[in-house]
Amino acid sequence: MTSAFRRKYFGTDGIRGRVGGDLMGPELALRLGYAAGRVLATEPTAHGRPMVLIGKDTRISGYMLESALEAGLAAAGVDVLLAGPMPTPAVAYLTRALRLSAGVVISASHNPYPDNGIKFFSARGLKLPDELECRIEDALDAPLGCVDSELLGKARRLDDAAGRYIEFCKSSFPNALDLNGLRLVVDAAHGAAYHIAPQVFRELGASVSTLGVEPDGLNINLEVGATHPSALAAEVKRQEADLGIALDGDADRLIMVDRDGRIYDGDELLYAIVRDRLHTGAVEGVVGTQMTNFAFELAMADLGIPFERAAVGDRYVLERLLERGWRFGGENSGHLLCLDRHTTGDGIIAALQVLAAMRRQSRSLPELLDGLTLYPQILVNVPLPDTGDWREHGKLQDTYLSVQKELEGRGRALIRASGTEPKLRLMVEARDGALAQSCVQRLAESLRA
C-alpha cells in the first residue's frame, strides 16, 4: 500500500485542525512528540542522540502545543531546542544549519487563529519523507511510554535563532546591491515574522514601516497579510511608499504591492524572478500548479523555458522540482521556491529575489512584468453532485469537453474536487474575461441540469 493511502493523521502539509476538535489538541501533540521521538531515535544523528528544533507562529494555542510536543519528545529520549515564534522556512534553515535530526513547526499557516497544525522538516531542511511520516503514524497508535530517567531528553531555548535566520535571509541578496533609498511597507500578518521581516529589509538599507507586527495570539492573518493584501495596498498608497511586502502567518507566502496599490500575485512575482535569472545564468525549467495562470505558461514558452504543472500545494511543486533537478517554481497564492537560495518556500527570501531583480536591472516591478499579462481567471465553487462520482456526471463531462474545445489556444478550464469541503472547484481562464465567465457559468449550470 502506498504512503498516500496509509496516511491517517498527516495531510499534504503535516497535521492540521481546529484546536480542541477531534484531532488537534494537547493529547495529540504529546503522543506525536513521543511517536516522532521513537522513530527519530532509530535514525543516524550528528549529536550522538536525536535533537529536534521546535518553532511556532503566534497563535495562542502554540504555547500549549509546544509544551506537549516538548514533553513527548523528551519522554522518547530526544533533546529539544525551542526557537519561539519563528517562520516556517526559518525552522527548515536552522534544522539544516545546526545539523539537527528534525525540525517541527507549530502553525496553521494562513488559517485563522482557532486552527493550528504541526509539521516536520527533515535533517536536510526538506519536508519529511513519506516513509518517515508513515512510521510516525504507525507509532502514534502505539501506547504512550517513557524512557528511563537517565535517558530523558533535555530542552533549552535557542536564543539567537532570529539573528541566525536574519543573516541567512540577507545572504540570499547579492553583496554588490543594497536597498538604500527604497521605502517599503512590510506586513507580517501578526504572524511568525513580525520581529524578523522588517529587520531584514532595514539591514539591507531600506526605509521600512510596518503593518501586522502586533500579535496578540488571536489576530494572526486577521484582515492583514498575504491573504488580505488590500490593507497593505491602502497603506502603501497612504504613505506614498515604493512597494509593499505581505507575508502570511508563517511567512512562507509572498504578495507584493506597487506604489499605485496594484497587487501582484505569486505567478507575477515568479515570472519576475525567473526572467531575471536568465540574465545571470540558465533556467532549466519551472514548475507551477493546476492553478497557475495560462498566460504564465505561454510566457515561459516565449522565454524558451520548459514548464510543468504539479498538483495544488507547495509540497507537490517541490517534489516535481527535485525530480527534474530544477530550481524555480511556485503557486499563484504566493508560495515561491528558489532552490538556489533555500530548500523550501520562503516569503522573505522570495521578496529579496524580486527586489534584487529590480536593483540589478534598474527597473520597477511593473517594468519587470512587461512580458506577462495574466488572463482573467474565474473560480466558482459548487456543491458536489449527489448522483455519485462527479467524473461520471454525463452532462458535466460533455460541457467540459465543449468548453475545452472553445478555449483551445485561448485559455483553459479545470475541474477539481476540494480537499476540505464537499464542493467542486470550477475554474476557467481566457484572454477574454467575458468568455471565461460564460464558460464557467455553463459548467456550473450543467451540474444542475
Q: 130: buried, middle or exposed (CB in 10 Å: 19+, 13-18, 0-12)?
A: middle
Catalytic residues: 109
Helix (H, G, I), strand (E, B) or coil at 43: coil
Cα dist from 201 to 76, 229, 265, 355, 386, whole Å: 40, 19, 20, 10, 52
Q: Who contacts 267 (Cβ-Cβ below 8 Å, separation ≥6)?
A: 288, 292, 293, 295, 296, 330, 332, 372, 374
Amino acid, res. 93: Y
- Amino acid, single-letter form, for residue 142: A
Residue 442's closest CA among 430, 291, 373, 431? 430
Closest CA to 132 of 28, 1, 37: 37
The answer to whether the beta carbons of residues 165 and 192 sit under 8 Å apart is no
Say how far apart CA 86 and CA 251 lie, in whole Å: 9
Quick one: cell of 22?
Answer: 477531534
How many alpha carbons fall within 13 Å on the CB side of residue 264? Answer: 28
Count helices and strands in the chain by DSSP H and E runs: 15, 18
Burial (CB count <10 Å: 0-12, 13-18, 19+), residue 282: exposed
Instruction: Please give the single-letter amino acid code of residue 328.
Output: F
If residue 301 lies in a helix (H) or strand (E), which one and from where to where? helix 294-302
Dihedrals phi, psi of 253, to nearest 5 degrees: -115, 155
290 by Cβ neighbours in 10 Å (0-12 / 13-18 / 19+) ranks as: middle
In angstroms, rounded to a whole number, what is the distance separating the alpha carbons of residues 106 and 115? 11
Could you tell me which of 163, 240, 241, 174 has the C-alpha nearest to residue 207?
A: 241
* 406-413 contact pairs (CB < 8 A, 24+): 406/435, 406/439, 407/435, 407/439, 410/435, 411/294, 411/375, 411/435, 411/436, 411/439, 412/294, 413/439, 413/440, 413/443
